[in-house]
Homo-oligomer: A and B are copies of this chain.
Amino acid sequence: MGVSRPDLTVTIGDWLLANPIMTASGTFGYGAEFADFVDLNRLGAIVVKGISHKPRIGNPPPRIVETACGMLNAIGLENPGIEKFLTDKLPQLKKYTCGIVVNILGDSLEEYGMLAERLNVAEIAAIEVNISCPNVKKGGVAFGTDAKMIYDVTKCVREKSNKPVIIKLSPNVTDITAMALAAEEGGASAVSLINTILGMAIDIRTRRPKLANKVGGLSGPAVKPIALRMVWQVAQRVKVPVIGIGGINTVEDVVEFLLAGATAIQIGTANLTNPHVAEELVVGLEKYLLENEIASVKSVINGLLT
């Protein structure tokens, strides 16, 4: 029995995505940067670069280093701030039909809450809460590695927002499932993981760290096995949808994350190394389902046999 056109749609809470392929925050700019490489309307959703209350200039250079099958980044969450985003960036995105997810970060519960409230605007499909970026001295790490704080942030954002709330988890923890459960308890509509893993590189000539920030976040194919393991562990414990992130480059990678229990996935570093990858993977996933005569992507999700 062949299938005509496979069903790629997935749902996160009451949000229906055309397909499970999203782009990861900080690796896809504000979307427009990729308009020449990707038909944005083909994507399930775009997650924009993390936004804070006030503008942030980010970390001094150097901000990136290449590592084996990966890269370290210490951008420092450079962003124009919520108001400039709403006035300058968001309007550019209106013309696209794909879901727009805004990634937010704060130094305090109040900032998170205020950002969530400010983003209750029609064009936005969901918000993703970055409690895990390892690059900022205040906030970031502390929130992401403490279950109680994750619960509090989630609860606060949940109360202020009328959108699906995605909590983005940090992998720099002993037990990722405890963090996911805290987010679920706090009212998260979904959890996304993983953010980058804290790493370091040293220039032996200067004897200094290669990053001005000393340490940075590791991403890319190198982290995929760790991300996949965490997604699998979390998917077995929480009822809310899980969004898989980490080293995704190919259709095989996408299918692995879906099988492990991810309802959707995000492409990060691969956007930087292969700018048309996001569209490639939407097309490739549809092809995979067709060739394997799978009528709906939903029957791949959580399909791991153990």
Contacts and interface: CB of A to CB of B under 8 A. Distances in A.
A199 B226 CA distance: 4
Contacts of A207: 259, 303-305
Count this chain's copies in the assembly.
2
Interface stretch (A67-75, A118-126, A151-159): A67-75
A228 interface: yes
Interface stretch (A9-17, A31-39, A96-104, A213-221): A213-221
B222 A69 contact: yes
A208 B68 contact: no
Nearest to A228: B200
Contacts of A224: 67-68
Given A204-B252, A207-B304, A225 B229 contact: no
Contacts of A70: 68-69, 222, 225
Contacts of A174: 145, 172-174
19 contacts: A67-B221, A67-B224, A68-B224, A68-B247, A69-B70, A69-B222, A198-B229, A199-B229, A200-B228, A201-B228, A202-B256, A202-B260, A202-B304, A204-B255, A208-B306, A218-B225, A218-B226, A221-B222, A222-B223
User: 9 smallest A-B Cβ distances: which pairs?
Assistant: A199-B225, A68-B221, A69-B69, A222-B222, A200-B229, A68-B69, A202-B256, A204-B255, A173-B174
